[in-house]
Amino acid sequence: MASVLRQAARLASSRCLTQLSAASSTSRLGASSYNFSPSSRNASTSSTIKVQLDSNTGVAIMMFQNPPVNSMSLDFMTEFVIAWDKLELDKSCRGIILTSALPNVFSAGLDIMDMYGTTPEHRTAFWKALQELWLKVYGSGKIVVAAINGASPAGGCLMALSCDYRIMIDNPKYKIGINETKLGIVAPFWFKDCLENTVGYRMSEMSVQYGILYNSAEALKIGLVDQLVPEDKLISTATETMIKWFAIPDYARQISKAMVRKATMDKMLAGREADITNFVTFTNKDSIQKSLGMYMEMLKGRKAK
Ligand SMILES: CC/C=C\C/C=C\C/C=C\C=C\CC(=O)SCCNC(=O)CCNC(=O)[C@H](O)C(C)(C)COP(=O)(O)OP(=O)(O)OC[C@H]1O[C@@H](n2cnc3c(N)ncnc32)[C@H](O)[C@@H]1OP(=O)(O)O
C-alpha cells in the first residue's frame, strides 16, 4: 500500500494531475452554501465551446456547440483543450460538468470527415488532439460529471466514460455506446479500456464486437451511466451531484482517483506514438476509407428519406 501511495504521489506531481496540490483544499463549500446567483458566473466562449464558471460554488459548465451534431473535429478538440486548460489553471474551479448546448445530441463522436479522404498528416494531428483531450479529461484532478443530453455514440461515449460520474436524460431515443464496428472500424484499445473499466469485461466484450448502442434505460442497467433524470432536471442534478462530491477532501479524492486510473493512463502514455501510427495506417487502408465513405453516405441518405 505504501508503494502505491508513493506512486500515486509521484503521479500527483506529474502532468496528469496538474491541479492536484495547487488546487487542492479541503471542501470549501457544502451543499448548504451553494448559491448559483447569475452575478457569480464567469462566462468564456470560443466558437464551439461555451464555459460558465460559478466561482462561488467552484462548478464550471462546459457546453459543446459544434452544430449540427457536436462531432469531434480537429478544430473542436483544439478549442476544447484550450478551454479545458484554462479551467485546470483556475483555482476557483473544483469541478466541471460536460454537456451539450445543442438539442438531442451530446456528441456524435469523432468527425468522420476528418478521417475520410484526408492526408496522413491531417489524421496524425487529429489523433494527437484526441489523445490530448482524453488525457486531460481522464487524468484531471477536478471532479468531472457528464450531463448527457442526447445521442452519445463512439467518441461521444468515450468523452462520457472519461468523467467521474454520468447522468443521462431518461429518454429511450438517446443512445450511447462504442459502436465503431458498425462503421467497419475498430475502437482503439483505450476506448475499450474505458468501457471495460466501467461496465466490466464480459459486457464490453459483447459491446465492442456488436457495436451496441444502448438506450438510456439499458445504459443505466449495465452501469454505463450512473443515473437517469428528466430533461429539465439534468443540469440541476449534475450541479447538486458535484456539490456532494465537494464534501470529500480534494487531496484524498485526487490521490484515490489517480491510483484507480493509473494503469489505464500509463498504458496510453507508453503506447501513444504506436497508437497514432496504428490509427494512420489503419485509416490509410482503401477498405477502411470505403467503409467510412459508405457510412457518411448512409448518414446523409437517411436524412434525405
Ligand atoms: C487496429 C486498430 C488501430 C487503431 C484504431 C484505429 C481506428 C479507430 C478509428 C476511429 C474511431 C472512431 C470513433 C468515432 O467516434 S467514429 C464516429 C461514430 N459516430 C457515429 O456513428 C454517429 C453518427 N451519427 C449519428 O448517428 C447521428 O448523426 C446522430 C444520432 C448523432 C444525430 O442524428 P440526427 O438525426 O440528429 O442528425 P443526422 O441527420 O444524422 O446528422 C446531421 C448531420 O451531421 C452529420 N454527421 C453526423 N455524425 C457525424 C460524424 N460523426 N462526423 C461527421 N458528420 C456527422 C450527418 O452526416 C449530417 O450531415 P448533413 O447535414 O447531411 O450534411
Domain residue ranges of the chain, discontinuous segments joined by +: 17-304
Q: Which amino acid is at 167?
A: I
Going from the Cα of 79 to the center of ligand 1, the distance in angstroms, rounded, reads 19
Name the pTM for this structure.
0.90
Give me the pLDDT at residue 4, please: 35
Q: Distance (Å, rounded) from C-alpha 5 to C-alpha 9? A: 6
Closest ligand 1 atom to 183 CA = 21
* Mutational test site, ligand 1, from 299, 303, 305, max ligand atoms within 8 Å of CB: 299
What residue ranges line ligand 1, CB within 6 angstroms? 68-69, 71, 104-105, 108-113, 151, 153-155, 179-180, 183, 185-186, 188, 278-279, 282, 299-300, 303
Question: Per-residue b/e over 132-171, b at no fewer than 16 CB within 10 Å?
Answer: bbbbbbbbbbbbbbbbbbbbbbbbbbbbbbbbbbbbbbbe
Counting beta carbons within 10 angstroms of the beta carbon of residue 27, is it exposed (0 to 12), middle (13 to 18) or buried (19 or more)? Answer: middle
Cβ atoms of residues 201 and 208 within 8 Å? no
Q: Distance (Å, rounded) from C-alpha 265 to C-alpha 166? A: 20
Q: How far is CA 29 from the centre of its chain?
A: 25
Sign of the C-alpha dihedral computed for residues 206, 210, 215 and 216 taken in this order: positive
Cβ atoms of residues 73 and 125 within 8 Å? no
Q: Which fold has domain 17-304?
A: 2-enoyl-CoA Hydratase; Chain A, domain 1 (3.90.226)
Q: Which amino acid is at 191?
A: F
**38 cis-preceded (ω within 30 degrees of 0):** no
Q: Atom 26, ligand 1: which residue's CA is nearest?
A: 108
* Residue 42 designated active-site: no
Grid cell 478551454 — which residue?
A: 83
3-state secondary structure 197-220: HHHCHHHHHHHHHHCCCEEHHHHH
- Which one of 130, 179, 196, 224 is the catalytic residue? 179
**Degrees, nearest 5: CA angle 52-57-60:** 25
* Residue 179 designated active-site: yes
Cβ atoms of residues 64 and 102 within 8 Å? yes
The enclosing H or E element of 175 equals: strand 175-177
Going from the Cα of 53 to the center of ligand 1, the distance in angstroms, rounded, reads 30
ipTM of the complex as predicted: 0.97
Quote the DSSP letter at residue 93.
Answer: -
Going from the Cα of 154 to the center of ligand 1, the distance in angstroms, rounded, reads 9
**Degrees, nearest 5: CA angle 168-173-175:** 60
Give me the pLDDT at residue 52, please: 97
| pLDDT in single tens digits along all 305 residues of the chain | 334 333 443 444 343 343 333 333 322 222 222 233 443 566 777 899 999 999 999 999 999 999 999 999 999 999 999 999 999 999 999 999 999 999 999 999 999 999 999 999 999 999 999 999 999 999 999 999 999 999 999 999 999 999 999 999 999 999 999 999 999 999 999 999 999 999 999 999 999 999 999 999 999 999 999 999 999 999 999 999 999 999 999 999 999 999 999 999 999 999 999 999 999 999 999 999 999 999 999 999 886 65
Q: What nine digits make up the cell of 12?
A: 500527483
> Edge to edge, what strands does the sheet with 95-100 contain?
41-45, 49-54, 59-64, 95-100, 143-148, 165-169, 227-229
